Amino acid sequence: MVKAIVGANWGDEGKGKITDMMAQKADIIVRFQGGANAGHTIVNNYGKFALHTLPSGVFYGHTTNVIGNGVALNIPLLFKEIQSIVDRNVPAPKIMVSNRAQIVMPYHILFDQYEEERLGGKSFGSTKSGIAPFYSDKYAKIGFQVSELFDEELLQEKVERICEMKNVLLEHLYHKPLIDPKELLNTLHEYRDMVAPYVADVSKFLDSALKEGKTVLLEGQLGTLKDPDHGIYPMVTSSSTLAAYGAIGAGLPPYEIKQIVTVCKAYSSAVGAGAFVSEIFGEEADELRRRGGDGGEYGATTGRPRRMGWFDCVASKYGCRMQGTTDVAFTVLDVLGYLDEIPVCVGYEINGEVTTEFPVTHLLEKAKPVYKVLPGWKEDIRGIKNYEDLPENCRNYIEFIEKEIGFPITMVSNGPGRHDIIFRKVTSITIELETGAIDVKDLITFYNVIRKGNFSICISSRLLWKNS
């Protein structure tokens, strides 16, 4: 069985924790897109870790951790990361690297830095990890696949050809030092020696694993709103952040993905530029940032303070829909326990009209948040294991958001540790009929819950469905 774990929003939703938790019952964890430009924070028995390239299942001895073909593979950073966890007494993980993965080259990082420098105040807020130049080269068909490291004749010819192209830009656009082909070839030889023991035909491996009945987790990076097609373009990443891409980035048939766990924060945060309708500022933002995350809301890769905001139902509903969500994991709920009241963004006002549908970017830039304020619970909820034991206002907050987004919240994270999780089963949902009309939000919720299993439906003055 294949399960995907992805983000609904701008990234930093807590996917690493959810992957780490679900990896306990998985055999294989696959990173299927992105690179070292974002990080997953994990707190477990070994300590607190920020992973950038490694899949979040590396802390379990029984798992195989795969770098899929869709990943932007920075080879030295990968092995530096492996060494960093081994140095902290984590057993050396089982690693497999796709022979079709492409390599982040040293010049990709330089070009990323040079372009941000050139753009100045109009920059995209890049992490300067080389991701955009990497994917640009990949789709221009001038990237380097891992497999090519092992063909010396091909490698030499390609290095000379690519250096000739890149040096034109370095000389005439950026006015920077040129690339020495011999030095680059030597670097690639070093990369080859580092990665050689781990290279494999990943798609074949996964095919065999599924035939043996093994469980595969697909771990995504960032979230829906950073997808280059469906996100806040152009302030997006350079690879698809959607679960659907997991099939491509891992080398699997799309029909094998049976469960899609989409992670949402109980509030909103973002790193980098781009539209953020429910963003808050000043002391209000500083307080939430200080209390948030696993020790404050700061980028796991850059260390930059994250932009803060209240939960955005419009963006999250859209994010869950685009992911094909079967389950929502609702994270960092414990952070909100200090608030007397909690605003929730339930709509966008654009040019005097209110919508609950996520618009294209140029309209998004004009959007103003429409809030509904819910009462806080003013309690510490860490340590609670049963949903029914949460404060009433806390449960009301969860259930209000569930109805607004139209997807079932089946996991609630109430602390940073892998065991700080409440599993919630949606056993019944009621739709009230008024003058023959049914709220479309309720119908969406009905659809998303009923497709998870067998349900009985009773139709009278109201619709009632229960898990059978």
Q: Give the DSSP per-residue string, 244-259.
A: HHHHHHHT--GGGEEE
Average confidence (pLDDT) over 357-377: 97
Average pLDDT over residues 36-44: 77
Output the six-digit token pair for 438: 């049914």
Q: Tell me, what's the pLDDT at 376?
A: 97
For residue 273, the model assigns a pLDDT of: 83
For residue 46, is pLDDT > 60? yes
3-state SS record for 333-391 = HHHHHHCCEEEEEEEEEECCEEECCCCCHHHHCCCEEEEEEEECCCCCCCCCCCHHHCC
Q: Which stretch, 267-276, 291-300, 304-313, has highest mean pLDDT?
A: 304-313
Tens-place pLDDT, residues 211-230: 999 999 999 999 999 999 99
The average pLDDT across 245-257 equals 97
- CATH 3.90.170.10 residue ranges in the chain? 2-89+202-423
- Which two structure tokens, joined as six digits, stand for 334? 């414990």
Catalytic positions: 12, 40
- Report the DSSP beta bridge partners of residue 462: 432
CB within 8 A of 7, min separation 6: which ones? 13, 15, 220, 221, 222, 223, 224, 241, 262, 263, 319
Quote the pLDDT of residue 454: 40
Q: Does the pLDDT value for residue 277 go beyond 80? A: yes
Give backbone dihedrals phi and psi of 241, rounded to 5 degrees, phi first: -100, 10
CATH 1.10.300.10 domain range(s) in the chain: 102-198
Taking residues 186-207, what's their average pLDDT?
Answer: 97
Band (295; pLDDT cuts 50, 70, 90) = confident
pLDDT score for 460: 36
Mean pLDDT over 392-408 rounds to 97
Q: Which residue has the higher pLDDT, 331 or 428?
A: 331
pLDDT tens per residue, range 47-92: 888 888 999 889 999 999 999 999 999 999 999 999 999 999 999 9
Angle at 118 between CA 114 and CA 122, to 5 degrees: 120
Question: Which structure tokens are listed for 162?
Answer: 């690519």
Q: What is the pTM of this model?
A: 0.86
Mean of pLDDT over the chain = 89
Candidates 3.40.50.170, 3.40.50.300, 3.90.170.10, 3.30.300.30; CATH matching 2-89+202-423 = 3.90.170.10
CATH class in words for 102-198: mainly alpha
pLDDT at 302: 65
* Structure confidence by residue, pLDDT tens digits, 157-191: 999 999 999 999 999 999 999 999 999 999 999 99
Q: Residue 187: CB partners within 8 Å, gap ≥ 6?
A: 106
Q: Select the more confidently predicted residue: 242 or 304.
A: 242
